Amino acid sequence: MIINKILILDYSVDRSETSAIKRWLPLDLNVTSLFIDTKESFCDELINDDFTHVIHTGSALSITEVAPFTNKAVEYIKNARDKGVFQMGICYGHQLICRALIGKHAVQSSPNGLEAGWNNVKFVNSSTSLLGLRENETVWQHHYDEVTELPEGSELLATNQHTKIQAYINHEQRLFGMQFHPEFDKEAGDKIFVDDKSLREEYTYNVHDMIKRGPSFESGKVLFGFFLRMKA
């Protein structure tokens, strides 16, 4: 098997996730990206390719609704898990993996509403030694939905008061997921907040105050780097 042959499954409506993620990946990696918006996006032959690592991206879509590709994505995630492929989920992708492997009862609209901003998360259990992080770190958040149940054998890695499951790992099933977005640095993250009119108008967030904060570590470098080092 080719080591570190990467597949990015990009569920973002504006097709922004692939470029945000690729900037953190080594240039010598074999990286394929596919924009997913229909069931045809998941061709039946895709699972037969020899990808070692798959990244499921964030999206403006809600995991509580069935997208045109949902059933095919669920099938692919299950088959990839059974094949021993390492899978990383970010926000929507994290929720999609749990919906696929557990069921739709494992995800929900957050009872706490929207979480947006450069917010604190607490890294727990083995996460500080595993990832080389401090107990409290600041990451980029923008989500309405959440995961309520993890695949069997999972270890919680991060949490906060808004969303209990902020990150987890499952060594046996080769899963690594997070609710926050490691792909956005200070500049990219702030731009999204400034451009998002709904934050100001519908949710009455003070964007000026939001962008006063920033990440406490290079989340893309640390977390994508860790994922690519995951080996059988």
Question: How many C-beta neighbours within 10 Å does residue 70 have?
Answer: 17
Q: Is 181 a catalytic residue?
A: yes
| CA 232 to chain CA centroid, nearest Å | 21
| pTM for the model | 0.97
Q: Which of 91, 94, 98, 137 is catalytic?
A: 91
Give me the residue label for tokens 């406490």: 216
Q: Could you tell me which of 2, 22, 3, 25 has the C-alpha nearest to residue 12?
A: 22
43 is catalytic: no
Structural domains present in the chain: 5-229 (3.40.50.880)
Classify residue 62 by burial, with Cβ atoms within 10 Å: 0-12, 13-18, 19+: middle
The pair of three-digit structure tokens given for residue 119, joined into one six-digit string: 């917010």
Q: Determine whether 51 is exposed, middle or buried from the number of CB atoms within 10 Å of its CB (0-12, 13-18, 19+).
A: buried
State the catalytic residue, choosing from 17, 115, 137, 183: 183
Q: Is 39 exposed, middle or buried (0-12, 13-18, 19+ CB in 10 A)?
A: middle
Query: Residue 167's closest CA among 102, 231, 226, 80?
Result: 226
Tens place of pLDDT per residue across the chain (232 aa) = 456 899 999 999 999 999 999 999 999 899 999 999 999 999 999 999 999 999 999 999 999 999 999 999 999 999 999 999 999 999 999 999 999 999 999 999 999 999 999 999 999 999 999 999 999 999 999 999 999 999 999 999 999 999 999 999 999 999 999 999 999 999 999 999 999 999 999 999 999 999 999 999 999 999 999 999 998 7
At 47 the three-state DSSP class reads helix
Is-catalytic flag, 91?
Answer: yes
